[in-house]
């Protein structure tokens, strides 16, 4: 796959990046180098390789899944700028 200057300009527009017209060929070349590297990665044989979270084998610490801050809605709602009937009140955004 090859990126031309028109596509590079489109990608820059989508990313909300201002790129001057004279910089577009260099940006397109950089995109092509990145895509070339990604294509090299697809050539690597990964059959039999287990997916991993980290490069070092480790197990994350686990905790019991239980509620620890519940049972105090009055304290939670005390921080709200507007609370009604036990809920946060927010402005209506959809008519």
User: Cα–chain-centroid distance for residue 32?
Assistant: 23
Question: What integer is the mean pLDDT of 66-91?
Answer: 86
| Alpha carbons 57 and 76: distance in angstroms, whole number | 40
Nearest Cα to 73, choosing from 62, 89, 58, 88? 88
The secondary structure element, H or E, covering residue 88 is: strand 87-88
* Whether residue 23 has pLDDT greater than 90: yes
**What's the pLDDT at 34?**
94
More confident residue, 56 or 28: 28
pLDDT tens digit sequence for 26-55:
999 999 999 999 999 889 998 988 888 777
């Amino acid at each position: 796959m090859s990126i031309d200057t028109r596509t590079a300009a489109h990608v820059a527009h989508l990313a909300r990046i201002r790129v001057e017209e004279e910089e577009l060929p260099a940006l397109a070349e950089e995109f092509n180098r990145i895509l070339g590297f990604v294509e090299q990665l697809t050539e690597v044989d990964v059959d039999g390789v287990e997916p991993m979270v980290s490069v070092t084998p480790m197990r994350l610490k686990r905790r019991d899944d239980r509620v620890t801050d519940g049972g105090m809605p009055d304290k939670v709602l005390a921080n709200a700028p507007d609370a009604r009937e036990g809920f946060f009140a927010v402005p209506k955004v959809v008519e």
